[in-house]
Chains A and B, each alone.
Chain A
Amino acid sequence: DQQVKQNSPSLSVQEGRISILNCDYTNSMFDYFLWYKKYPAEGPTFLISISSIKDKNEDGRFTVFLNKSAKHLSLHIVPSQPGDSAVYFCAASATSYGGSQGNLIFGKGTKLSVKP
């Protein structure tokens, strides 16, 4: 049973427009969420994170929104650039609970294509 779900395998947007990537989770113990970007033949690169005590975190063109009641988070990229084309992974962690030891649970990823 997938605890972190990214239901859109792919997304295509025009350069300059907003990209919105979505992620849903089922485990109520998750309290820390991260987004990673992955290019082919490279490891995932950390983008942005958010703690469950917040509902928004911004870093430049990237903003992550967290809706705890809906168990949903989203990554907004504004404006989108061709270099943003990659696979984006949502990940979650139950950092406050010793049993999980803080390991990351990943979704399957969404492939973003930004067209010039």
Chain B
Amino acid sequence: DAGVTQSPTHLIKTRGQHVTLRCSPISGHKSVSWYQQVLGQGPQFIFQYYEKEERGRGNFPDRFSARQFPNYSSELNVNALLLGDSALYLCASSLQLRGPYEQYFGPGTRLTVT
């Protein structure tokens, strides 16, 4: 079975631009979460979506938004990019909204903002 897939794998953007990252969860998983990992830190929670509704939001500015589609895939959008947005963006899927449960991560999208 395919795991969590993310696209693109790498991306270089300029300050002020907009970016869209995409994620396909494991088949049957209805919950998708997004995390940001900067160098030397652990992943930091951005959003959780379940059944196309936002179910959780981390401490990130309104420049970050996301949505989930009927097939449970998801997009993360970041507007007005800043240099500090350079990071590895991870998508994770899980069967349930509430636990206990495990989240399974994709390989990530490496975003570089210049």
Select from chain A the residue with minimum beta-carbon distance to B4: A43
Query: How many residues of chain B are within 8 Å of chain A by beta carbon?
Result: 27
Q: Which residues of A contact B102 (CB under 8 A)?
A: 34, 46, 49
**A63 at interface by CB-CB < 8 Å:** no
Q: Are B98 and A95 in contact (CB-based, < 8 A)? A: yes
Q: Are A103 and B104 in contact (CB-based, < 8 A)? A: no
Bound CA span A44–B99, Å = 19
Q: Are A93 and B106 in contact (CB-based, < 8 A)? A: no
Q: Which residues of A contact B16 (CB under 8 A)?
A: none
Bound CA span A45–B98, Å = 20
List residues of B (66-114) whose CB comes within 8 Å of A's CBs. 90, 92, 97-108
Partner of B103, one of A31, A41, A46, A109: A46
**B24 at interface by CB-CB < 8 Å:** no
**A89 at interface by CB-CB < 8 Å:** yes
Q: Are A95 and B43 in contact (CB-based, < 8 A)? A: no
Q: Are B108 and A106 in contact (CB-based, < 8 A)? A: no
- The smallest beta-carbon distance between A97 and chain B, in angstroms, is 10
Partner of A103, one of B42, B48, B108: B48
**A13 at interface by CB-CB < 8 Å:** no
Q: Are A102 and B48 in contact (CB-based, < 8 A)? A: yes
List residues of A (21-58) whose CB comes within 8 Å of B's CBs. 31-32, 34, 36, 41-46, 49, 51
**A18 at interface by CB-CB < 8 Å:** no
Partner of B42, one of A49, A95, A108: A108
List residues of A (74-113) whose CB comes within 8 Å of B's CBs. 89, 91, 93, 95, 98, 100-109
**B55 at interface by CB-CB < 8 Å:** yes
**B61 at interface by CB-CB < 8 Å:** no
Q: Residues on B close to A: CB < 8 A? A: 4, 33, 35, 40-45, 48, 55-56, 58, 90, 92, 97-108
Q: Residues on A close to B: CB < 8 A? A: 4, 31-32, 34, 36, 41-46, 49, 51, 89, 91, 93, 95, 98, 100-109
Q: List 6 A-B contacts (CB under 8 A).
A: A34-B103, A49-B100, A93-B99, A95-B101, A101-B55, A103-B56
